[in-house]
Amino acid sequence: MSWLDVAVALLNTLVFPGFLFLFNAGFFFSWVDRKLLARFQERVGPPVFQPWADFFKLLSKEIIIARTAFKATFILAPLISLIAVMLVPLMLPIVTPTPQFTFIGDLIVIVYLLILPALAAMIGGSASGNPYGSIGSSREMMLLTSYELPFIIAVFTVALKAGSLRIVDLVQYQSSNGFLFLTGSGFIAFLVMLLSLQAKLSVPPFDIPDAKTEIIAGPYTEYSGALLALFKLSHAMLLFVLPWFLCTLFFGGVLVDFSSTIRLFVTSAASVLKLLILLIAMSLIRCINPRARIDQALRFFWLHLTIIASVGFGLAVVGW
């Protein structure tokens, strides 16, 4: 590997589409989400710089670690969450069709990395030495095992349709065969993933581990200062990465065509629009729903959504 390769890799990791880009894009999407919720509730909502202000304020606060907490895991959890979310964009194409890393099976690696934030919340919660933390952690665990199943079935549906476990191949398949969203199995897989993402992001109706009125702040109860800031940052980044992932899988990816100025304009606008529409769809589901109870959520994912996802998979097998 030459120096140039290393430099490009570093640039990708730290600037675009790495840390700096994700930092700002994630907070922007977080603002859109909050503003939409406020508008829906007939309020004005926060100004655009709000998520940045929240982050820097948290950085300036004191970090208190309870005596009953298990220090190493407590501190490690937000770091794991952040790093996992930062690794995903290195495998997703943006602007150009080739991401930093592409190999067979990178789809599975992404699914694995997307599990890590929830896992980190879990271990952080149990390491915090607080009964609310441990209840939040156990709820996260129960929820995690339930929504991952339909999610993974949906991912495999897409892979089966496009005939490959490589993201780049999926994008290429869509550029020649049209969006996967427009196929029968693709549509079902999209719906299944959209609902699972609500649980992944811990937003209503599935914000059960985070239920403020029931268990204070769930796994995040004992977190303060910079550690909480890292968790919030990884959430915001996830809010950008997940629509991006959905877009790549079902809507042809976030790509820009450099062949002419007009195409450049149109495809850039289309890409941004695709991402925003997906974000708005996720936000709207959040606005109009109360919180489900854990047993109701489990039933929903294990039973209803798994059946629907399997139907989608079946459709992909027969070629629809």
Partner 1 sequence: MPEVVLPIGPYHPALTEPEFFQVYVSGEEIVDAKVRIGYNHRGIEWLAQRKTIHQVPFLVERICGICSNAHPMCFCQSVEEAGDIVVPDRARHIRTLIAELERIHSHLLWAGIASHLIGYDTLFMYFWRHREPICELLDLITGNRQHYAINCIGGVRRDIDLEKYGSKILGVLKSLTPAVLRLGDAVVKDRVVKARMEGVGILSTDNARKYCVVGPTARGSGIGIDVRKNEPYAAYRDVGVDVKVFTECDVMARTLVRVHETLESAEIVRRTMDAMPNGPIKAELNGFPTGEGVGKVEAPRGEDIHYVRLNGTDKPERLKIRAPTYMNLGSIVPQLVGYTIADAPLIIGAVDPCMCCTDRIALVDVRKGRKLVLSLGELAQKTRKNRNPIR
Partner 2 sequence: MGLLRWSRRKSPWIFHFGSASCNNCDIELIDALTPRYDVERFGILLKGSIRHADLLVVTGAINRLGAPRLRRIYEQMPKPKLVMAVGSCATTTGIFDGSYSIAGPVDRVIPVDVYVPGCPPRPEAIIDGVVKALAKL
Judged by the rule CB under 8 A, the positions of this chain that interact with partner 1 are 37, 40-43, 131, 135, 204-205, 207-208, 211-216, 287-296
Smallest distance, partner 2 to C-beta of residue 290, A: 17
Residue 9 site contact among partner 1, partner 2, none (CB < 5 to 8 Å, cut-off depends on kind): none
Select 190 or 220, whichever has its Cβ closest to partner 2. Answer: 220
Q: At a CB cut-off of 8 Å and minimum separation 6, what does 83 contact?
A: none
| H or E, element range at 289 | none
| H or E, element range at 224 | none
Residue 55 site contact among partner 1, partner 2, none (CB < 5 to 8 Å, cut-off depends on kind): partner 2
Smallest distance, partner 1 to C-beta of residue 221, A: 11
Residue 262 site contact among partner 2, partner 1, none (CB < 5 to 8 Å, cut-off depends on kind): none
Select 37 or 226, whichever has its Cβ closest to partner 1. Answer: 37
Tokens of 143: 């929820």
Q: At a CB cut-off of 8 Å and minimum separation 6, what does 12 contact?
A: 18, 90, 100
Pairing of strands 254-255, 94-95: parallel
Smallest distance, partner 2 to C-beta of residue 34, A: 8
- Applying CB under 8 A, which residues contact partner 2? 34, 38, 41-47, 49-50, 52-57, 59-64, 212-213, 216-217, 220-225, 228
Select 38 or 87, whichever has its Cβ closest to partner 2. Answer: 38
Q: How many CA atoms lie within 13 A of 239 on its CB side?
A: 27
DSSP-based helix, strand, coil % in the chain, nearest 5? 75, 0, 25
Residue entry with tokens 């599990």: 115
Select 91 or 201, whichever has its Cβ closest to partner 2. Answer: 201
Select 70 or 187, whichever has its Cβ closest to partner 2. Answer: 70
Residue 289 site contact among partner 2, partner 1, none (CB < 5 to 8 Å, cut-off depends on kind): partner 1
Smallest distance, partner 1 to C-beta of residue 267, A: 36
| H or E, element range at 291 | none
Q: 149 with 302: CB under 8 angstroms?
A: yes
Separation in Å, CA 101 to CA 20, 56, 91, 270? 19, 31, 5, 25
Residue 303 site contact among partner 2, partner 1, none (CB < 5 to 8 Å, cut-off depends on kind): none
